[in-house]
Amino acid sequence: MNFFLTIVLDGLIQASWLFIVALGLTLVFGVLKILNIAHGSFYALGAYIAATAVTMVAAHGLPPSVGFVAMLVSVALIASAVGLLLERGLLKMFYGRDEVVLLLVTYAVFLILEDATKLIWGVNPIYATQPYELFGNVAFAGLYYVGYDLVLIPTSAAIGFLVWFGLNRTVTGKIVLAVIHNEEMSVSMGVRVNRVYALAFAFGVLLAALAGALTAPKISMQPGLSSDVIILSFAIVVIGGLGSVEGAAVGAVLVGLARAASVHLMPQAELFMIYLIMAAVLMFRPEGLFKRETARRI
């Protein structure tokens, strides 16, 4: 029973940050119809910026709680700016082209950001562990957990709720939903789709970077981070259905649990399991678990 609980908790901790990344990816796809390969790079960007912020705060002798706040604020500001710049400055030029062309454009952005992070932060691992001890250790059902990890679960749930609330209960959210469902109709009703695009993309980048910042104290930042994360978040959004918020949540929990279960039960199958689930979902229900079928050939 304890063993089972460990798997579930580990899985939920994994799922919590994965959900935030996947949420950004699925929103960007829903609104802009872009499968953003560079999404993992924004995660890495967030993690690196967070590390810099935490290290700078620590260098001034300030407590880790200040570092924690500083990293969230700096990441939020920089990520939104980067998102807006990219959408207005680059992606805009390719709208109306084939979905696959946009996929390649984001692949180019991924390549550029990959080296940009290497040039700024170097290729050696970077750590930002100070905030990790912020919430102490928690004894839970006879097991010891790092408080920070457990805090991630409600944080992620709160972000998920806020996004759901924003989409379904605010005017801006309703407009975004309208664009997701029928762009042409929204334009004819007077929606400024350009603004919705910019907003959605910047928000997607923000979510990825925020997830990066939140996980930064847990991991070591090094090259290759982005390509690993994007593959996991791809799996999640494909399992849940591209463009679906609920799908991203279910996908994240599934992938998190699958990862945790295989780490504990069958370590050799970890990566394999996740992609197998994804391939299976694509084979039998390519539109994902949580998306209505469309007449379009996919």
Partner 1 sequence: MKQGLHPVVMIALVVAATLFGRVLPTWTLSLATVAASNALIALGIVVLARTGNVSFGQGLFYAAGGYGVALIANAWGITDAAAQMIIGAVCSGLLGFVVGPLIARYSGIFFGMLTLALSMVFYGALVKTSALGGSDGFNVGRPSLFGMVFTDPREADFMLYAVSVVTTGLAGIAATILFRSELGLASLAVRENNLRVEYLGISANRVITINFVVAAIFAGASGAFALMAQRHIDPQFAYWTTSGEFVFVAVLAGYQSVAAVFVASLALELVRSFSNLYLPNTWQLVLGVFLLGVILFLPRGIGSLWVRERRKRIEPETAAPVAAEKGVVL
Contacting positions for partner 1 (CB under 8 A): 35, 90, 93-94, 97-101, 103-105, 107-112, 114-116, 118-119, 123, 227, 231, 234-235, 238, 242, 267-276, 278-279, 282-283, 286, 297-298
**Closer CB to partner 1, residue 96 or residue 190?**
96
CA 294-100-164 angle, to 5 degrees, is 55
**Closer CB to partner 1, residue 131 or residue 243?**
243
CB of 52 to partner 1, least distance (A): 18
**Closer CB to partner 1, residue 118 or residue 192?**
118
CB of 149 to partner 1, least distance (A): 24
**Closer CB to partner 1, residue 63 or residue 286?**
286
SS (H, E, C) the chain: CHHHHHHHHHHHHHHHHHHHHHHHHHHHHHHHCCCCCCHHHHHHHHHHHHHHHHHHHHHCCCCHHHHHHHHHHHHHHHHHHHHHHHHHHCHHHHCCCCHHHHHHHHHHHHHHHHHHHHHHHCCCCECCCHHHHCCCEEEECCEEEEHHHHHHHHHHHHHHHHHHHHHHHCHHHHHHHHHHHCHHHHHHCCCCHHHHHHHHHHHHHHHHHHHHHHHHHHCCECCCHHHHHHHHHHHHHHHHCCCCHHHHHHHHHHHHHHHHHHHHHCHHHHHHHHHHHHHHHHHHCCCCCCCCCCCCCC
**Distance of alpha carbon 193 from alpha carbon 177, whole angstroms:** 11
CB of 20 to partner 1, least distance (A): 21
Rg (CA), the chain: 19
**Closer CB to partner 1, residue 59 or residue 119?**
119
CB of 134 to partner 1, least distance (A): 33
CB of 82 to partner 1, least distance (A): 15
At position 234, the amino acid (one-letter code) is F
Q: Which of 66, 90, 70, 88 is nearest to 78 (CA)?
A: 70
CB of 128 to partner 1, least distance (A): 22
CB of 66 to partner 1, least distance (A): 32
**Closer CB to partner 1, residue 130 or residue 262?**
262
**Closer CB to partner 1, residue 38 or residue 152?**
38
CB of 50 to partner 1, least distance (A): 22
**Closer CB to partner 1, residue 58 or residue 261?**
261
**Distance of alpha carbon 270 from alpha carbon 100, whole angstroms:** 29
